[in-house]
Amino acid sequence: MKIRCVVTGQTAEAKAVVARDAGVEPVTLRSMPGFEFHRVWASDATPKLPADGTQPPHGRYFPPPGGIRFGFFTVPPGGRRSTERIEPAAALAELEEELPGLAETLEPENPGMHTTDTVDFDVVLSGEICLELDDGKEVALKAGDCVVQNGTRHAWRNRSKENCVIAVALVGARRN
Give the CATH number of the domain where residue 107 resides: 2.60.120.10
Q: What pLDDT, on the 0 to 100 scale, is given for residue 81?
A: 53
Residue 151 lies in a domain: yes
- Please check whether residue 10 lies inside any domain of the structure: no
SS (H, E, C) the chain: CCEEEEEEEECCCCCEEEEEEEEECCECCCCCCCCEEEEEEEECCCCCCCCCCCCCCCCCCCCCCCCEEEEEEEECCCCCCCCCCCCHHHHHHHHHHHCCCCHHHECCCCCCCECCCEEEEEEEEECEEEEECHHHCEEEEECCCEEEEECCCEEEECCCCCCEEEEEEEEECCCC
Q: Does the pLDDT of residue 80 top 80, yes or no?
A: no
Task: Tell me the residue range of the domain where 51 lies.
Answer: 27-172
pLDDT value, residue 1: 86
Would you say residue 22 lies in a domain? no
| 5-23: pLDDT as tens digits | 999 999 999 999 999 999 9
Tally of domains in the chain: 1
pLDDT confidence of residue 79 = 53
Q: How confident is the model at residue 135 (pLDDT cuts 50, 70, 90)?
A: very high
pLDDT tens-digit series, residues 31-76: 899 999 999 999 999 999 999 999 998 999 999 999 999 999 999 9
